[in-house]
Amino acid sequence: MKNGVALSAAGARRALLITSAALAPLISASAANAQGAGEEERISRDELVVTATRREEALGDVPMSISVLTGSELERIGAVEFVDYAVRIPNLSFSHSGSGMHGSRSIAIRGVVGSGTTGFYLDETPLFESLDPRVVDLERIEVLRGPQGTLYGARSMGGTIRLITRQPNVSETEMRLHGEYSVVKDGDSNYSIDGSINVPIIPEKAAIRALFYRTEQSGVLDRVPGVQPILASIDPTLTPSDFEPNKNVDDESVIGGAITGRLELADGDFVITPRFQYQRVETDGFPFADVEADNLTLVRLFDLDETGEDEWRHASLTATLNAFRGQIVSATGYFDRDFRDQEDFSEVSVLFFGIPPSPAVIKRYGHEDRFVQELRYISDFGGPLEFTVGGFYSDTDRHSEFPPTPIEPFFDNVFGQVIDVNITELAFFGEATFKLTDRLQVVGGFRWFDNEVDFVGSDSGIITFNETYLGTQKEKAINPKFGVKADLTDDIIAYANAAKGFRIGGVNSFSQNLCAADLAALPGGINSYDSDSLWNYDAGVKGKLLGGRMNFDAAGYYIDWSNIQQVIALNSCGFAAVVNAGKAEIKGFELELNGEVAPGLSYSVGAGYADGEITDDGGFGALPVGSPLQQVPKWTVASSLEYEFQAMGNPTFIRGDFSYVGDSFSANNSSLSAPRLRPSYALLDLRTGMTFGPVEVSIFAKNVTDEAANFSDIPPLAAELPTRPRIVRNRPRTIGISFTLSR
């Protein structure tokens, strides 16, 4: 572990040194020219309007650590999916700790890792963090670091990601059409098309905005006949079935769209915004490499497809009323999702059951739906006191099903399971700011919540007992927040916050009879588990330097995490359970710089550091004291350099984006005492383009160095074949061309 940490820190230092060396002369030139710079040359990023605190504020005035990617930036970097922007956010990391292809990803901010620790919003609606809406027609993405328990509630204990869509324009007709063609190394061609149109229905009163997108992505993995070494060592006579190598088995297709309306009444004081979005992802095979991230050959006994589908619908209705010296907001949302996966476990069945090779496929179906209603009042008194108060209600249903799994002709049903969970959440919240002087204000907030989780499940098959189990977990508590903000100058603020965050509890799903031996050896009952919580203490400074030509945002933090929800293995029965076990502490910082160093030449540099370790093991045999937090890299670094200029009389740009993610450890499929190392990785993207009137043409190269990034080893639907972990990885080098028409 120590060697891995040393490599991570060294890699991060090299990345920072390279970036700093490249930018040093540019920053020096900026300092030399700043004194004579005119107002028109100054950058305005610090003045971007965000709604992180549920009210419109300039980014530089918000007393918290925030990263923002605007819609134009997302288009310029060619962002398509979550990973495209996630690697560009300091102290944001992700892993795949759930089973299967869909619904397995979790997000960590500031090292607060695990499912349900990060809030994920599409406009006003909290969604599941494993969701991956395509990055199309967005106004911006806001990443809020630190607990957001007062205004955003459960699942925001590490921070919150907010995807803000472009809203209908009641004044002008707008149209945008974008197409892209590319070729991926070790695969074939890819193409995508998306477009949006905005049409005023009643000028200055009503408008409709519509969006569609379609992507076809080539696979890069090849399935070939063969026998895994562990099986050959047991039975040298084993032979695979006779099939031709199957190329590019992990092809993917994405289709989706959205329609949004806007109706402005009472001279714009009453606004109604209905919206509906749909997306379907179909995959021909799991995009998982065997053993190592750079191994794109899947050796199998049979040519069995591992297909999947993720289809969801999201409907929302937001209404705002300017009244009572403030604004009343009603946000209603309904989300509905269906997904399925199937996995080849033929090799596992040969090893575990000692049967001759026979095609074996395990399937899983899932359904999730959530109704959300929030009502809040945001004051606009214009005096020293301002506040936001509101109420929140959510009702979530989750269904997971493994239909009876046969292995013909030997077993009719190896395993089957049905699980239904209902989660209801009720909360009241408030946050207020009070100006003590023109330059000093204090912040206070709270959230009272009342949550209930109801669970029923049943198992069947030869590896378990035929039984039904159920349970309920309830909890009420209050989450507070305190803060102070000082305007040091007209351009620089300092702040400090202390905030509590929490994650909702739950009920475990395992056979009581089959796991009786494990349960008897544990120090307490584990039928259910409570919320875990943490206190985050941070302080930061942000603003503008060099006469407004550089924006900076720096923050340091300390996190004290208690009753951590950790997964422990029930070895005798092959199941796992979540327990509240132990404590951890996390220390770190974020630093972001961006600016314009010369006319047309802009840069951004960001670095995050998160040093987390277990300080109390909790007595359940979870991670031992001193262990690093799983799936959390210590270092994350991102930088970009872009030059805009005129070529042949046309606006032209050249851009490069570099990101580095340090190494981390994973115990998804290994013992807690010997977790697997996820090596660090660095990604480089290049893009250049030229605008001809309303059309922009660009050529690009993603993952220029063809880095094979290990995003995580993933728990299988069935069981991992020893010596053959499956690795979630990034896309190989991709080169392409894109066209954008805007009017």
Residue 180 in contact with residue 192, Cβ under 8 Å? yes
d(Cα 503, Cα 159) in Å, to the nearest integer? 11
- For the chain, the average pLDDT equals 91
Structure tokens at 732: 């190989």
Report, as an integer, the average pLDDT of 175-188: 98
Residue 452 in contact with residue 423, Cβ under 8 Å? yes
d(Cα 563, Cα 117) in Å, to the nearest integer? 14
Note the pLDDT tens digit of each residue in 249-271: 999 999 999 999 999 999 999 99
Structure tokens at 64: 């918290």
> Cis ω on the peptide bond leading into residue 628 (within 30° of 0)?
no
d(Cα 168, Cα 171) in Å, to the nearest integer? 9
Residue 640 in contact with residue 656, Cβ under 8 Å? yes
Q: Characterize the bridge pairing of strands 222-225 and 297-300.
A: parallel
- Helix, strand, coil share of the chain (percent; to 5): 10, 55, 35
Q: What is the pLDDT of residue 9?
A: 42
- Of 275, 268, 263, 397, the closest CA to residue 332 belongs to 275
Structure tokens at 498: 């202390």
For residue 41, how many other CB atoms are within 10 A of its CB?
A: 15
Give the Å distances, CA to CA, from 33 to 397, 412, 571, 576: 59, 77, 66, 61
Residue 102 in contact with residue 339, Cβ under 8 Å? yes
Note the pLDDT tens digit of each residue in 104-129: 899 999 999 998 999 999 999 999 99
Note the pLDDT tens digit of each residue in 198-224: 999 999 999 999 999 999 999 999 999
Note the pLDDT tens digit of each residue in 293-349: 999 999 999 999 999 999 999 999 999 999 999 999 999 999 999 999 999 999 999
For residue 127, how many other CB atoms are within 10 A of its CB?
A: 22
Number of domains in the chain: 1
pLDDT band at 610 (very low <50, low <70, confident <90, very high): very high
CATH of the domain at 19: 2.40.170.20
Report, as an integer, the average pLDDT of 166-171: 97
| Three-state secondary-structure class, residue 73 | helix
Give the Å distances, CA to CA, from 574 to 76, 342, 631: 47, 20, 22
Q: b or e along 691-727 (b: 16 or more beta carbons within 10 Å of the residue's beta carbon)?
A: eeeeebebebbbbbeebbbbbbbbbbbbbbbeebbbb
d(Cα 369, Cα 339) in Å, to the nearest integer? 12
Q: Is the pLDDT of residue 1 over 90?
A: no
Note the pLDDT tens digit of each residue in 613-672: 999 988 887 888 999 999 999 999 999 999 999 999 999 999 999 999 999 998 888 776
Report, as an integer, the average pLDDT of 388-415: 96
Q: Is the pLDDT of residue 8 over 60?
A: no
Note the pLDDT tens digit of each residue in 354-395: 999 999 999 999 999 999 999 999 999 999 999 999 999 999
Percent of all residues in the chain with a pLDDT value above 70, rounded to a whole number = 94
Report, as an integer, the average pLDDT of 523-536: 88
Q: What is the pLDDT of residue 466?
A: 87
Q: Is the pLDDT of residue 506 over 80?
A: yes
Note the pLDDT tens digit of each residue in 433-451: 999 999 999 999 999 999 9
For residue 1, how many other CB atoms are within 10 A of its CB?
A: 12
Q: What is the pLDDT of residue 622?
A: 80
Q: What is the pLDDT of residue 44?
A: 61
| First-last CA distance in the chain | 55
pLDDT band at 584 (very low <50, low <70, confident <90, very high): very high
Note the pLDDT tens digit of each residue in 683-728: 999 999 999 999 999 999 999 999 999 999 999 999 899 999 999 9
CA angle 240, 246, 252 (to 5 degrees): 130
For residue 460, how many other CB atoms are within 10 A of its CB?
A: 19
pLDDT band at 401 (very low <50, low <70, confident <90, very high): very high
Q: What is the pLDDT of residue 29?
A: 36
Q: What is the pLDDT of residue 25?
A: 37
Structural domain span for residue 66: 2-742
Percent of all residues in the chain with a pLDDT value above 90, rounded to a whole number = 81
| Three-state secondary-structure class, residue 291 | coil
Structure tokens at 621: 């045999």
CA angle 135, 290, 218 (to 5 degrees): 40
Q: What is the pLDDT of residue 517?
A: 84
Give the Å distances, CA to CA, from 233 to 237, 238, 348, 356: 10, 10, 14, 15
